Amino acid sequence: MNSPMLPREKVFRDPVHNYIHVQHQVILDLINTPEMQRLRRIHQLGVSNLVFQGAEHTRFTHSLGVYEIARKICDNFQQNYPTKNGGADGLWDDNERLIALCAALLHDIGHGAYSHTFEHIFGTDHEAITRQILTDPDTGVGKVLRGVSPKFPEQVASVIDHSYPNQQVVQMISSQIDADRMDYLLRDAYNTGTNYGLFDLTRILRVMRPYAGGIAFEPSGMHAVEDYIVSRFQMYQQIYFHPVSRSMEVILTNLLGRAKELFEAGDFDDHYNPRLLDPFFNHNFTLRDYLMLDDGVLNTYFHYWLDYPDPILSDLADRFLNRRPFKSATFTTASKDLLPKMAALVEQSGFDSRYYTATDSSFDLPYDQYDPTSATPKTQIEIMQLDDTLEELSTLSPLVGAITGKVTGDNRFYFPKQMLAKPDAPEYTPVIAEFQRYILNDEIIDPQILSR
């Protein structure tokens, strides 16, 4: 697949990759579409900037970073593993480059305002919307892709939904070690000011190689791959699953949920009505409606709602905008039985438990072997031996083997900070004292221990 080259390479300055190199006219045209520019107004890490103040980076900067890593992979494959017969030998066919680069750039194009929280409340599907944006003849992205060829939009979309026949291209964008994950780990580490996500990107790209079934890694690079796996594990535990970030997501979820309830009950005063959300409240939105929203639009409505007469809506808006997170305690299967009682105590303290309590379960699988029976089978990481046979990573690495298939994370119960008032505080009550009886060292006590 060919596309006109720019007369002179264009570069974008980037804190992670130094320069992002754009050589194809179609890539520059895609960057300049309204749909791509919209990603500048959507945070990459949702509400995590309320915990890590530097995490102001966007889906736009991440998308360019994924493109740049994919470009480097294509360069490496073309220089060191070029096909001699159109890819039939399992080596790299550079005719796939443009599809890979476009898929890398556009892989997040369908994310909505506040991404996963909005998706949960309104039942949207960012992956389905991504396909719609790519294939709709009326979107800026769709027009640019169709300019390459009539079939090109569907081809790019098929890479993102994993149905594209060339698995080298698919795995470059989506696998257990791909351009997407490598960029967001490095970028999120940089912007949160942490070192957990750092790994040797240059070395990993150097030892990647194509084969007939996808992408493998040379044995000499196994330690760099191990480092990547451990970095990803640490980022999930320390950054992505941070309890305060999850608390702010709970508040955002409950805020939007309360607005939805008021709208459906016909109680939304016309002056405060969020007109751009009407199609979502009515379960009848168009692609244009979806693309009109971004983080800033929602924040504007939240500011309006600070003065709304409904005390729950106005309070939740204040908690979100002014960073007043809920507190939380972890719970297990055994202590889960106490949650209804604790929610009732929150209710007795004057809070509507539907909006002032919540449970959140955040778990991750750092690495897993391929299981074709799984609902979402993962592409395993293959190490190519000197005789061209493939060995799955965890069979060679004791380090990766130790965490393979091991789910990590926790369950948390969220509640207002007032429920942890000190005995000498004016708001301290017998109900709050009873609530605190169930929590010890940030954990909800096993009822059997409590009864002893």
- The full DSSP string for 58-126 is BHHHHHHHHHHHHHHHHHHHHHHSB-SSTTTTSSB-GGGHHHHHHHHHHTTTT--TTHHHHHHHH---H
Q: Which tokens hold the place of 148?
A: 């390459």
Token pair recorded at residue 183? 């960029």
Q: Looking at residue 41, what DSSP letter applies?
A: G
Q: Does residue 370 surpass a pLDDT of 60?
A: no
Q: What is the pLDDT of residues 386-423, one digit of tens each?
A: 999 999 999 999 988 888 888 889 999 999 999 999 99
pLDDT at 442: 93
Q: Express each pLDDT in 21-60 by its tens digit.
A: 999 999 999 999 999 999 999 999 999 999 999 999 999 9
- Residues 6+ away with beta carbon under 8 Å from 35: 109, 133, 139, 140, 141, 291
pLDDT for residue 408: 87
3-state secondary structure of 217: strand
78-86 contact pairs (CB < 8 A, 24+): 80/209, 81/209, 81/210
- Mean pLDDT taken over the chain: 94
Among residues 9, 383, 19, 407, which one has the least CA distance to residue 211? 383
Residue 360 phi/psi, 5-degree rounding, is: -135, 130
From the options 1.10.3210.10, 3.20.20.70, 3.40.50.1820, 3.20.20.450, give the CATH code of 5-241+367-404: 1.10.3210.10
Fold of 328-366+407-452: Growth Hormone; Chain: A; (1.20.1250)
Please tell me which residue, 258 or 267, carries the higher pLDDT value: 258
300-309, 336-345, 360-369: which has the minimum mean pLDDT?
360-369
What are the extents of the domains in the chain? 5-241+367-404, 328-366+407-452
